[in-house]
Amino acid sequence: MFRQIASHLLHSVIRKQFAKTVAATPAATGDTGEPSPPYVPPTCEFAVICAAEREVMGLIDRMRNVRSIQAAGFQLSSGLLAGKSIVVAVCPVDGDVTQATEAVITGHNPKLVLAMGFADALIPSAAANDLVVANRIIDTATNGVTIDVTEITTKGCHTGTLLSIIDLPNSPHERTELAKSHEALSAGRIALPVAVACGRRQVPMMAVYVITRQLNDQLPAEADHLFKQKSWAGRAGALLGGVTRRPAAATDLWKLQENLWQARGRLADFAEDMAKR
C-alpha cells in the first residue's frame, strides 16, 4: 500500500510543484587560462530532514553503508536505502534549520527533500500511527507555504495543514486550542523552515509526519522530562529518577517506547517505498 502511495505522491510533487533549476555558476579559470566547469555534487535520490534522531532511527537502521558525520549545526548520515543513495539530516529545533537544509541541498543535490518526524493530532479522526502528508504548512504567526500534492484517501493517511512549531503540545487542552486557532490537522516540528529552504533553492519537497499522540492523549510527566534531556546521561538519570519516584512509570514508559518504535517503522516504510518506486 505504501509503495503505491509513495510512488503516486512523488510523481505528483515533482510534476506539479516547481521544476528544479540549476543556478548559473561563474566559470573558474585554471592555470591554462581555460574555463573549468563548475563543480556539481553527486545527486542523491532524496534527503530526509528531521528534528530528532529518535524519529529516524528506524530509517537509519535500514540503510546500508552508513556514514555519519557531525556537520555545522546538524548531524548527517548518508548511505543506501533499497539501493538508492539518500542522506538523513538531524537538525535540532534550536538550530538554524533553514541554513542546515540549504547546506544539505548544496552538498548532496537531492532530487527531493522530505521533512519527516513525529506529530501530534489536532483533530479527533487522526489516530496513532496515521501518516500526515501536508499540502499546507503554517506556523503560529500564520506564515506558511502551500505544497501541491494529490489528496490521499487511503485509510490511515491524511492530507491537510500541518502546524510547524518548536515545542509540541503536552496536553489535550493545548492541542484543542491550537486546532481552534490554526485549523490544522496535526502539529510537527521544523517543517516550515525546511520548506522555506527548498523554495529558495527550487527543490521539490514533501512533509510526511506520523501521529504519535492523539488529540486526547496525555504524555506521562516522566516521559516529558525524559524527552527534554539532550544527552544519554541526562536521559538515563531522568529514567532512573522517574521510575524510582513512581514505579508504575516503568510500564507507561515501556508502552510509550513500543508506540514510538511503531511510528519509526511507519516513517521508515514510507521512505523505503519512496526509494523502491
Give the CATH number for residue 53: 3.40.50.1580
- pLDDT, residue 277, reads 81
C-alpha cell at 205: 519537497
What pairs with residue 160 in β-bridges? 134
In a domain, 1, yes or no: no
- pLDDT, residue 21, reads 36
C-alpha cell at 37: 566547469
For residues 225 and 209, give the distance between their C-alpha atoms in angstroms, rounded to a whole number: 23
- Measured in degrees and rounded to the nearest 5, phi and psi for residue 189 equal -110, 150
- pLDDT, residue 119, reads 96
C-alpha cell at 1: 500500500
- Amino acid type, 84: K
In a domain, 122, yes or no: yes
For residues 143 and 137, give the distance between their C-alpha atoms in angstroms, rounded to a whole number: 8
Question: Which residue positions in the chain have pLDDT lower than 70?
Answer: 1-42, 219-230, 232, 235, 238-243, 248-254, 256
For residues 49 and 194, give the distance between their C-alpha atoms in angstroms, rounded to a whole number: 8
C-alpha cell at 235: 536521559
Task: Report the predicted TM-score, pTM, of the whole model to 2 decimal places.
Answer: 0.79
In a domain, 239, yes or no: yes
Q: Let me know: does 265 contact 271? Beta carbons within 8 Å.
A: no
In a domain, 169, yes or no: yes
For residues 193 and 22, give the distance between their C-alpha atoms in angstroms, rounded to a whole number: 21
Domain that holds residue 134: 42-276
- pLDDT, residue 30, reads 44
In a domain, 234, yes or no: yes
In a domain, 62, yes or no: yes
In a domain, 162, yes or no: yes
For residues 234 and 244, give the distance between their C-alpha atoms in angstroms, rounded to a whole number: 15
Q: How many domains does the chain have?
A: 1
In a domain, 214, yes or no: yes
- pLDDT, residue 28, reads 40
- pLDDT, residue 186, reads 96
- Spell out a b/e string for 208-247, using b for 16 or more CB atoms within 10 Å of the CB, else e: bbbbbbbbebebbebbebbbeeeeeeeeeebbeebbeeee
